[in-house]
């Protein structure tokens, strides 16, 4: 789940010590204060950088009672009211007037900016099953794509994908976050089975040399193949960061910890630890290859009786493609027409560096000109991609919709190739 950074637990820092009046979340430790730092004449809420990375010292004016001893609690230094509050189990209490000229150091504090974003450090021994390196993050944003999804990776009998949503917003929240989703391949799932997965989604922190992220669970089944979005970091923070974004490149990862299958057999899947699977995503900033193909079916009532039909092949970006349609829906749909775009399996070039594309599929309204369209995010073109529930059958066959006129139905594909992907 995503949430804006908490301000309940904060230290306002004056611009004299930091570039801006940012708010830092801190965890107060019970370690002894540094002797040298304790001699500082820093005033209320001044923040001094310590020798250790990501360790700050907070100097405050203590009350007449002398040094204020705090154990690992969350504190707020209130610069306006001139007092310190200790927050323990939802209660707060004054810790003394801070107008005295005497000064004391509260102790060593570990700044955990990641915790404001709901993520945690996984440690330097953390090894994910899949790592996705997006090499041109700014170019990805310029495409305007709402999401991008990796090529498939295999783990413990299932094929999976990682989806990155670069500008995700929770309902009622104004700050866009970079969010991740875990997605199993529908082809890996069995009707009537529920796959309960425990997994970790993360982004690599180059400064710390470790992955930072969150742990999640989700019950996947035949028709529920997208986990909830899990926000990692505000987009603007990522763009400003030298820890997560290096040379316009950032690294996302997945670790699958546990898989249980609810089925008549009720089995637990053994997670097989292997070397990390690495993929690279390259997004161009110009020179996109675009193509359009219109498939006119003048015998749609006849085709409607078939389980699957496909268009003639067409070429975009030096590769062959075709539209695949299930007129009455495939096994993943519910009373809907299913529509996909596929690479032609006979195309020898598809085994080379995979294309990264965004596509729009449309059923044309031949009467009113109000076409029904769906647009994908960026996807690695290693297999077909589309929508099992593209358009409801009732709406498709409604004469007022203009999607089927007499025996005619027209489907259009717009394809833009924006980059490539390879294995690292």
Last residue of a domain, one of 74, 89, 111: 111
Domain count, the chain: 3
Does 411 or 77 have the greater pLDDT score?
Answer: 411
Compare 397 and 114 and report the one with higher pLDDT.
Answer: 397
Average the pLDDT over 65-87 and give the result.
Answer: 33
Over residues 356-395, the pLDDT tens digits come to 999 999 999 999 999 999 999 999 987 788 999 999 999 9
Q: Three-state SS for 298?
A: coil
On average, the pLDDT of the chain sits at 75
141 and 189 in a single domain? The answer is yes
At residue 133's C-alpha, the angle toward residues 198 and 25, to 5°, is 65
- 3-class secondary structure, 139: helix
Position 6 in a domain = no
pLDDT of residue 321: 94
Query: Is residue 76 in a domain?
Result: yes
**pLDDT at 77 exceeding the cut of 90:** no
Name the residue range of residue 90's domain: 11-111
One domain, residues 138 and 273: yes
For range 165-179, the mean pLDDT: 86
Confidence of residue 412 (pLDDT cuts 50, 70, 90): very high
Q: Which whole number is the average pLDDT over 98-113?
A: 33
Residues 61 and 96 in one domain: yes
Please choose, from the candidates 168, 171, 174, the residue with its C-alpha nearest in 3D space to the C-alpha of residue 146: 168
CB 338 within 8 A of CB 386: yes
Q: Mapping DSSP to helix (H, G, I), strand (E, B) and coil, where does residue 383 land?
A: coil
Answer yes or no: do 214 and 314 share one domain. no
CA–CA separation, 87 and 185 (whole Å): 46
| pLDDT score for 274 | 83
Q: Kindly state whether residue 74 falls inside one of the protein's structural domains.
A: yes
* pLDDT more than 90, % of the chain: 53
Query: What tokens appear for 273 in the block?
Result: 């630890």
Co-location of 302 and 270 in the same domain: no
**Pair 276, 173 in one domain:** yes
Same domain, 240 and 351: no
Say which CATH number the domain at 148 has: 2.60.210.10
Asked if residue 4 belongs to a domain, the reply is no
The residue ranking higher by pLDDT, 130 or 63, is 130
Same domain (yes/no): 102, 242: no
Within-domain flag for 1: no
Structural domain contains residue 199? yes
User: In terms of domains, do 279 and 297 share one?
Assistant: no
Q: 166 and 96 share a domain? A: no
The answer to whether residues 276 and 352 belong to one domain is: no
What tens digit of pLDDT does each residue of 307-356 get? 999 999 999 988 899 999 999 999 889 999 999 999 887 755 555 568 99
CA distance 380 to 151: 5
Residues 181 and 72 in one domain: no
Contact 390, 374 (CB under 8 A): yes
- Nearest-angstrom CA–CA distance, 59 and 106: 7
Residue 205 · residue 214 · CB < 8 Å: no
| Residue 372, in any domain of the structure | yes
Q: Of 259, 283, 307, which one is at a domain's C-terminal end?
A: 283
């Amino acid at each position: 789940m995503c949430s804006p950074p908490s301000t309940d637990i904060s230290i306002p820092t004056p611009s004299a010590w930091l570039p801006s009046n940012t708010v830092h979340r801190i965890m107060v430790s019970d370690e002894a204060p540094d002797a040298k730092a304790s001699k500082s004449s820093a005033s209320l809420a001044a923040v001094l950088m310590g020798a250790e990375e990501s360790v700050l010292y907070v100097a405050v004016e203590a009350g007449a009672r002398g040094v204020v001893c705090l154990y690992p609690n969350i504190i707020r230094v209130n610069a306006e009211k001139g007092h310190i509050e200790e927050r323990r189990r939802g209660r707060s209490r004054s810790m003394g007037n801070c107008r005295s000229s005497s000064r004391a150091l509260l102790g060593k504090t570990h700044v955990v900016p990641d915790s404001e974003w709901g993520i945690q450090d996984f440690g330097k021994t953390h090894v994910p099953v899949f790592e996705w390196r997006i090499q041109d993050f700014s170019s990805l944003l310029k495409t305007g794509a709402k999401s991008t999804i990796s090529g498939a990776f295999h783990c413990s009998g299932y094929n999976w994908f990682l989806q990155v949503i670069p500008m995700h917003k929770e309902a009622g929240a104004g700050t866009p976050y970079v969010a991740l989703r875990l997605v199993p391949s529908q082809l890996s799932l069995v009707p009537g089975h529920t796959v309960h997965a425990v997994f970790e989604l993360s982004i690599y922190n180059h400064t710390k040399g470790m992955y930072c992220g969150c742990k999640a669970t989700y019950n996947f089944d035949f028709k529920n193949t997208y986990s909830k979005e899990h926000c990692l970091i505000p987009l603007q923070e990522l763009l400003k960061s030298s820890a997560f974004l290096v040379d316009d490149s950032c690294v996302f990862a997945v670790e699958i910890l546990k898989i249980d299958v609810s089925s008549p057999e009720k089995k637990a899947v053994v997670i097989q630890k292997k070397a990390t699977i690495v993929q690279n995503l390259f997004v161009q900033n110009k020179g996109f290859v675009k193509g359009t193909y219109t498939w006119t079916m003048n015998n749609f009532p006849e085709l409607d009786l078939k389980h699957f039909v496909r268009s003639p092949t067409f070429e975009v970006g030096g590769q062959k493609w075709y539209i695949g349609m299930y007129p009455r829906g495939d096994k993943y749909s519910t009373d809907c027409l299913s529509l996909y775009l596929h690479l032609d399996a006979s195309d020898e070039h598809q085994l080379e560096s995979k294309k990264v594309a965004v596509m729009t599929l449309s059923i044309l309204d031949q009467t009113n000109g109000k076409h029904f369209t769906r647009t994908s995010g960026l996807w690695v073109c290693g297999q077909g991609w589309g929508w099992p529930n593209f358009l409801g059958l009732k709406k498709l066959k409604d004469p007022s919709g203009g999607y089927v006129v007499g025996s005619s139905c027209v489907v259009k594909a717009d394809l833009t190739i924006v980059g490539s992907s390879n294995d690292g």
